[in-house]
Structure 1
Amino acid sequence: MKVRQDAWSEENDLLLAETVLRHVREGSTQLKAFEELGDTLNRTAAACGFRWNAVIRQQYEKALGLARKQRKQHFRNLEKKEKSSGLHIVSENNPSGENTVGIPDSPALTMREIIAFLQNINMSEADYEILQRELETIKREKAAIETKYEELEKRAITMQQDYEDLVRIMDRARKMFVFGDEAAQKHALQAEDNKDLEKIAE
C-alpha cells in the first residue's frame, strides 16, 4: 500500500526528472515514468505526476525538449534501419518465422511488441487527459477549502467581537458596583448592557 508523504527531497525531485526524461527519450510515456517512480518512492503515480507538472517540469523544459528530439531521432534511425534491412514480423504462434512476410535475416518484431509500441504512442494523450482531470479535481478541492477557510475566519472575527463586548460589559459593571452608587448607576448600566447584548444577539 502506498503511503502519502508530503515532503519531497531534492534527491526525489532529481530522480523524478531523470526518470521522466529517460522514459521520454526511450519513446515511453510520462505516465509509465510516474508509475515506475511511484513504486520506487512508495508514492502514487498521481502524486508523482502532480509534482512533475506543478513544480519540476518548468525547470527541465529545455531538457524535455531535447529528450523529445532524441526520441524522434531514435525512431528515425529505427525507420531507416527497417527500410534498409526490411522488417520481419514474427507471429507469436509461429516463432520459427515460417510463412511470414519479410526479408530473411532482418530484425524480427513480434505482434505483441508492435501493439505495445502503437499503444504507447496514444498513451501520452491519455496521460495528459488523466493529469488534466486530476488537476481540475485538485483545483475544485482547493477552492472549497478556501471558501471554508473564509467562512471560519468570519466566524472567528464575530466571536472575537462578541467576546470583547462581553468583557466590556462585565468591566463596566464591576467598576459601577465597586466605585459608584448602585442605585444611581443601575439605570445607565441596564441601558448600555441592553445595547451590547442586542449587538451580540445579532
Structure 2
Amino acid sequence: MTIARQDAWTQDEDLLLAEVVLRHIREGSTQLKAFEEVGKQLSRTSAACGFRWNSFVRKQYKSGVELAKKQRKEQGVRDTSFKAEVKEDVMESNEQEIATEWIRETPSTPSTTLQEVISYLTKMDESFRHDREEKERSSQRSYYLEQENERLREENGLLRDNLRVVEEDYRALMQIMERARKLSVLEDEKLNPKVSFQMDKNGNLERVNK
C-alpha cells in the first residue's frame, strides 16, 4: 500500500494543484476529481489536496477561478452534477462552511489529515477572533478620534472668538491713540504758535504770528 506523503507543500506542487483545479472548472468537472488527480500525481490524499486548495492556494487564484468559470460558460459546458455546482458556490462563500462541507464529503483519511483539519480550524478561529478584536479596536479609535475632533472644533471656535475680541480691542486702542495724537498736536499748537515770515514792500522779511 502506497504511503501518502505528509511533508510540506512546495511552490511547484501548489502550481500543479492550481492548474489541475482550474482545468477541471473550465471543463465542468468537480473539484473532488481534480483533487484525486493531483493526489495521484503527488502521492498525496485527495483530502490533503482539497485542504491545501481551500486553505491556501485558492486565495492566490481568485481571478483565475473566475476566468475559468467564465470560460466554462462561454463554451456551454455545465458541471457534471448540480450538487457539485452548489458545493463550489458554498465553498467560496464562507471559510467555516468550506471546512465543514469538505470534512462531510471527504472519505475517511489518516489521522494526520484530521490533525491538519483541526489545525486549520484553530487558525481560522484565531483569524476570526483577531479580525473581531481589530474591528473593536478600530471602532474605539474612531470614537476617540471623533471626540478629539469635536474638542478641537470647540477649541478652534473659542480661539476665533478670542481673536475677534483682540482685533476689536486693537482697533479701539488705535482709535484712542489717534485721538490722543490729534489732541496733543492741538495743545502743542496752542502753546507754541507757528511763526512765519513774509517780505515787505522794501524786500525785507518780517515775522508774522498766526
Coarse TM-score class (shorter-chain normalised):
0.3 to 0.5
Work out which of the two has the higher radius of gyration on C-alpha atoms and give 1 or 2: 2
TM-score (structure 1 length as normaliser): 0.44
